[in-house]
């Protein structure tokens, strides 16, 4: 498997052990977009070893263990935690394990008894990093990874750890602004729809912000986090929303490649009322736009039509998910509002332009 231009081979390690008898290998390709995902051929399976060594099934007594960010695993101790110790365990098949822990640069004592490990609990708003280092047993054993880390964090207050606008992470500047007292910020970005704001917190809350009514070009979003006896309200104002207000007399027109004629010499398509220039033809209902740096395409509009909104549907390049329109202007007097590039425009493959 590899890039579509050179098809360099890619090796994927299949972790675990194969049981005796007939086995089924299912290969699934998943992506967060609607374009092509991968090309593959000449699939080859190679036996590496008889046994596989790893750390798995890590547990912390009384608390959940999840995937970590920057660490393999994460465990959050709640605000109400008053214990002095934390006990954890893990499985490490076909290997021996050495467990150490640190708070910053300071070593933390680890005691072991009956396959369980105990450390002093971190204070509120502090973390301890546990490292599990395995040594594979002698013989026909392979380990693709020998060092595993787990962060144990004691929550001491409400902490926002992720803010997204239409699934796109907030900038560092915006995140810093809204996480500082009084927890209010403004985002000046063009949208041609009402975006969705989501906030995720260290203590586990996942909140979709409540949007106010549109006031000019502004919408005010609020979301309140609560954990035990603590609450905190955040306010984010989005300024730059330009919506198309449809009238009863407005009509929707769909431009489909197979409902017009294409001139290969002029590279122009037309259905008699609308035209598209500088394209490379198309198929079925889709248009093929040649992708080159600063390439410009022109939509021609007949004298009897006034365009108020332009929607590009299924916008994609076969091999990248970041296809987008970077600018749009009108040859007339119309002001064109092109939405900022967010996950909603790239993942949904749709760009809506308001005039």
Question: How confident is the model at residue 4, as a pLDDT?
Answer: 52
Same domain for 58 and 136, yes or no, is yes
- Print the domain residue range for 312: 257-354
Which pLDDT score, from 0 to 100, does residue 348 have?
Answer: 46
Q: Does 18 reside within a domain?
A: no
The answer to whether residue 278 sits within a structural domain is yes
Question: What pLDDT does 2 receive?
Answer: 44
**Could you tell me the two tokens for 53?**
């060594």
The angle subtended at Cα 296 by Cα 291 and Cα 300, nearest 5°, is 120
Q: What is the pLDDT of residues 160-186, one digit of tens each?
A: 999 999 989 999 999 999 999 999 999
Q: Which of 194, 211, 241 is the last residue of a domain?
A: 241
pLDDT (tens digit, 9 = 90+) per residue, 269-313? 999 999 999 999 999 999 998 877 667 889 999 888 889 999 888
68 and 149 Cβ atoms separated by less than 8 Å: yes
**Regions of the chain where pLDDT drops below 70:** 1-7, 32-37, 293-294, 318-323, 341-350, 355
Q: Is 0.85 surpassed by the pTM of this model?
A: no
Task: Output the pLDDT for position 220.
Answer: 98
Query: Residue 344's pLDDT is what?
Result: 52
pLDDT of residue 17: 84
| Residue 161 per-residue DSSP state | E
Say if 134 falls within a structural domain.
Answer: yes
Statement to judge: residues 233 and 297 lie in one domain:
no
- Lay out the sheet containing 160-165: strands in order across: 168-169, 160-165, 197-201, 206-208
State what percent of residues in the chain have pLDDT above 70. 90
Buried b (16+ CB within 10 A) or exposed e, 78-91: ebebeeeebbbebe
pLDDT for 328 = 85
Q: Is 260 helix (H, G, I), strand (E, B) or coil?
A: coil
58 lies in the same domain as 142: yes
My answer on whether 171 and 115 are in the same domain is no
């Amino acid at each position: 498997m590899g890039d579509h231009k050179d098809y360099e081979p890619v090796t994927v390690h299949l972790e675990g052990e194969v049981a005796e008898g007939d086995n089924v290998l299912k290969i699934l390709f998943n992506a967060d977009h609607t374009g092509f995902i991968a090309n593959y051929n000449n699939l080859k399976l190679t036996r590496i070893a008889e046994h596989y060594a790893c750390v798995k099934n890590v547990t912390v007594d009384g608390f959940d263990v999840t995937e970590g960010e920057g660490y393999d695993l994460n465990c959050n101790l709640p605000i109400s935690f008053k214990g002095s110790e934390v006990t954890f365990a893990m499985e490490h098949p076909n290997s021996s394990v050495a467990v150490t822990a640190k708070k910053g640069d300071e070593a933390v004592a680890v005691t072991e008894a009956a396959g369980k490990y105990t450390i002093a609990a971190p204070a509120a708003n502090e973390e301890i990093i546990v490292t599990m280092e395995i040594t594979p047993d002698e013989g026909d054993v392979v380990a693709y990874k020998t060092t595993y880390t787990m962060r144990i964090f004691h929550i001491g207050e409400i902490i926002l750890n992720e803010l997204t606008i239409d699934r796109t992470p907030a900038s560092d500047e915006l995140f810093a602004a809204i996480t500082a007292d009084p927890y209010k910020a403004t985002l000046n970005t063009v949208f041609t729809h009402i975006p969705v704001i989501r906030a995720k917190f260290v203590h586990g809350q996942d909140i979709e912000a409540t949007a106010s009514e549109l006031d000019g070009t502004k919408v005010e979003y609020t979301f309140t986090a609560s954990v035990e006896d603590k609450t905190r309200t955040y306010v984010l104002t989005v300024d730059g929303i330009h919506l198309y207000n449809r009238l009863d007399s407005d009509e929707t027109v769909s431009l489909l490649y197979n409902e017009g004629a294409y001139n290969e010499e002029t590279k122009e398509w037309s259905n008699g009322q609308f035209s598209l220039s500088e394209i490379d033809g198309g198929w079925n209902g889709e248009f093929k736009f040649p992708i080159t740096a600063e390439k410009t395409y022109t939509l021609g509009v007949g004298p009897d039509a006034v365009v108020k909104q332009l929607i590009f549907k299924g916008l994609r390049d076969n091999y990248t998910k970041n296809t987008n329109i970077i600018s749009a202007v009108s040859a007339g007097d119309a002001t064109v509002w092109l939405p900022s590039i967010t996950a909603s425009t790239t993942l949904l493959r749709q760009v809506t332009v308001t005039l």
